Amino acid sequence: ILPDPEYRVFLQRFGEVGQRTFSSSHDRALHDCIHALSVVKEDPLATPAQHAAAEAALAALLATATAPSEAALLSRLHWWTVEYGLVGTPSDYRIYGAGLLSSLGEGEACHAPSVRKLPLGASCLDVDYDITRPQPRLFVARDFAQLSDVLESVAARFAQRRGGALGLATALASGEVATLALDSGAHATGIVASAPALGGTPALVTLAGRCALSFEGEHLLGATPPGAPLDLVVALGPLEGGASPHDGRALRRFLHPAPRSRWDLRFASGLRISGEPRAEIVRRERTLALSLADAEAWLGERRIDLGPIAVALGERVDSVFAGAADPAYWPESAFPGKTTPPPRSRPASDARLVALYRDALRLWERPDSPDLLPGFTRIAGELRAHYPQDWLLRWNLLESLRKLDAGVVLATMLRDDLLAVEASTPGDAATKAPIARGLRYLGFEPAGSTSLASSSLRASPAGRQPKPGGSP
């Protein structure tokens, strides 16, 4: 469905919003913990103690959860749409979520009356999900156009849209590199270290780490080579007397031109910044920033030593978003030398099963060879003797025989073995869906039938050769 124009617009816009969304240290720790658990669960040689330790670590971390971050909320929207979404109405819907489409079991189980179908809205952000269990509820979009509407209503809550005190508080809590989009058109990038307020309004923002100042995509100061390390603060609000800090005439009242005099900026909020002048950065007749030496600031009665620093000026912060305004802010990084996920260790029995898959594939690559039927028979015998629960290779062999219109006796044995595997599989119909659907696809009778006689081995449509070891 990716070529669908409305769905494509939604996914692209989702990426744009997600790129600017703040995560939290808890998000990052949770990601690492789930990754570690996944590695253990996929390792056939992992011990029960390793499983228990990984599960316990995840449970302990989940117990410490605080208010969800922007990234956590957006991941919920992704889960209930891109991964587990339905479209239509709660009583007449279609599956479009990739997680449902790629899971025969969950694609079957989601139709159960016990799974609640709710109209999609921004309220889905209030519902968390558990990736280890089938979902007890799903959300139904009216159509793909509604997905974009919901996304925009969700994005309207985030710092990238709201800016101001909420945006600064979000960036401060995250600890990530952030960009402050000022009303002047300037972008200040760095890690928000503090954002004290005067009179309930943010007055001075201190940025840490690799800082940069840019304007309309052009770096003016800071992080990109050959930019020098930059200490950067953002002074907010109108000047003393109410004039805009971008008003050159009003600003020059505070910038004394006499040699060796200090610049002394005073703001209506009560903020005061003083320092030895270095440079004034002006774009489009707007003063964006001042470079000062030996600077100091006062927040009411509180004095702060700033040292050599650049002071970006703005009446307000229109947007605060994660990441840098200019991609060149980030240095190039080498690909990691370590393979992720790590190579799996397999028991000898698994190695032999993989070899059987490869044998079947080699035989199928020469379908006219007299060795094919004896080879398939040998593989089916090994499966009976040593791998009674493996269904996929049996299904591949059966599909191959179906396409060749050959091997009725062997096909009967494989069909009966598949029915036996299905009968011995614990769980409900959803758990057994791969085998039942596979047999229906090949045109055999439903599970429970005991004879192949009424299902002749007609050849499937030409041009579709199965690949043993792949998915049906």
295 in helix, strand or coil? strand
Q: Which amino acid is residue 252, in one-letter code? A: R
Provide the pLDDT for residue 207.
Answer: 95
Provide the pLDDT for residue 443.
Answer: 84
Provide the pLDDT for residue 60.
Answer: 93
Task: Work out the widest C-alpha separation in the chain, in whole angstroms.
Answer: 105
Query: Which helix (H) or strand (E) is 148 found in, with range?
Result: helix 144-155
Provide the pLDDT for residue 349.
Answer: 77
Provide the pLDDT for residue 445.
Answer: 60
Provide the pLDDT for residue 330.
Answer: 81
User: CA-CA distance, 234 to 195, in Å (whole number)?
Assistant: 9
CA 337 to chain centre: 23
Which CA distances in Å does 182 have to 199, 281, 325, 343? 20, 15, 12, 48
User: CA-CA distance, 148 to 139, in Å (whole number)?
Assistant: 15
245 in helix, strand or coil? coil
Provide the pLDDT for residue 213.
Answer: 92
DSSP structural state of residue 229: P
Q: Are 233 and 306 in contact (CB under 8 A)?
A: yes
Average pLDDT per consecutive 10 residues, the chain (472 residues; last block may be shorter): 93 96 92 89 88 93 88 96 97 95 85 95 92 88 97 96 95 95 94 93 93 87 64 95 89 74 91 92 88 92 91 95 87 73 73 94 94 96 94 94 92 92 75 76 62 38 41 36
User: CA-CA distance, 466 to 446, in Å (whole number)?
Assistant: 22
Provide the pLDDT for residue 64.
Answer: 87
Of 56, 65, 77, the closest CA to residue 30 belongs to 65
State pTM to two decimals.
0.76
Burial of 362 (0-12, 13-18, 19+ CB in 10 A): middle
